[in-house]
Amino acid sequence: MHRFANPARFLRLAALILPWVSVLSAILFAAGLYLALFVSPEDYQQGDTVRIMYVHVPAAWMAMFTYSSMAVAAACALVWRHPLAEVYSKAAAPLGAGFTLLCLVTGSLWGEPMWGTWWVWDARLTSVLILFFLYLGYMALVDAFDDPQRGHRAGAILLLVGAINVPIIKFSVDWWNTLHQPASVLRMDGPAIHGDMLWPLLILALAFKTYFAATVILRMRAELAERKIQTLRLTQAGGV
């Protein structure tokens, strides 16, 4: 576990990965957007609005993935005191909040023409809104303490408590009657989505994921630099 805990080792690894994921992300976005906007067919019911899916669904997946990974990091921070786990959660939170916001707004822009409403309080939409507030709450909480260590501890606990929301989001459409339809891709009997629409979706999902990897590395590097700055300031104040 602690083999990867060393920040210097992480920074070397990150420097190695960063150019690759950045280039990969750019390629995937170009290919995905081309397929989504120019090649993929209209839906038999929803016409061109189905193209909103290629943004909405990857954003939703990333919103859930980012939160889940932050919750796992929170557990590593609380149980094993893994020094990079807190750095990761703090770096990932604004990205997760961005994905969730994107998911909510594109969902609204899709719901108005197709469902006939911008918003309803069904179990799926409400639980995703709660996810957005969990991100905001975490970011506020981590910065709310004078002692950053206590802030991180409180944030990690919030992340773990809020993790219960992730399966609720995922299965809300199966457990209860919702306006939102059940899952199209990640379901037991295979995707219920035609291949010509599935490919752009999967490619853009990968594009989002590589974008996240690249950006979270940048943010973690910034956070590690910030920690060094704090330590240097302390030694400066105490020693000089």
Site string for another protein, 154-193 (x = CB under 8 A): ------xx-xx---x------xxxxx-xxxx--x----xx
Output the smallest distance, CB 144 to another protein, in A.
20
Q: Does residue 136 belong to the site contacting another protein (CB under 8 A)?
A: no
Q: Does residue 130 belong to the site contacting another protein (CB under 8 A)?
A: no
Which secondary-structure segment (H or E) carries 228?
helix 195-239
Euclidean distance between CA atoms 87 and 75, whole angstroms? 13
Site string for another protein, 195-224 (x = CB under 8 A): -xx-------------x--xx--xx-xx-x
Provide the H-helix boundaries in 35-186.
53-80, 83-114, 123-142, 148-162, 165-175
CA 169 to chain centre: 14
Euclidean distance between CA atoms 219 and 91, whole angstroms? 5
Interface region with another protein, contact rule CB under 8 A, candidates 13-21, 100-108, 133-141, 146-154: 100-108
- The one-character DSSP state at 36 is I
Q: Does residue 143 belong to the site contacting another protein (CB under 8 A)?
A: no
Q: Does residue 131 belong to the site contacting another protein (CB under 8 A)?
A: no
Q: Is the dihedral of CA 188, 193, 198, 202 positive or negative?
A: negative
Q: Does residue 26 belong to the site contacting another protein (CB under 8 A)?
A: no
Task: By CB under 8 A, name the one of 13, 30, 39, 79 that touches another protein.
Answer: 79
Beta carbon nearer to another protein, 20 or 230: 230
Task: By CB under 8 A, name the one of 61, 153, 228, 237 that touches another protein.
Answer: 228
- The one-character DSSP state at 188 is T
Euclidean distance between CA atoms 181 and 193, whole angstroms? 13
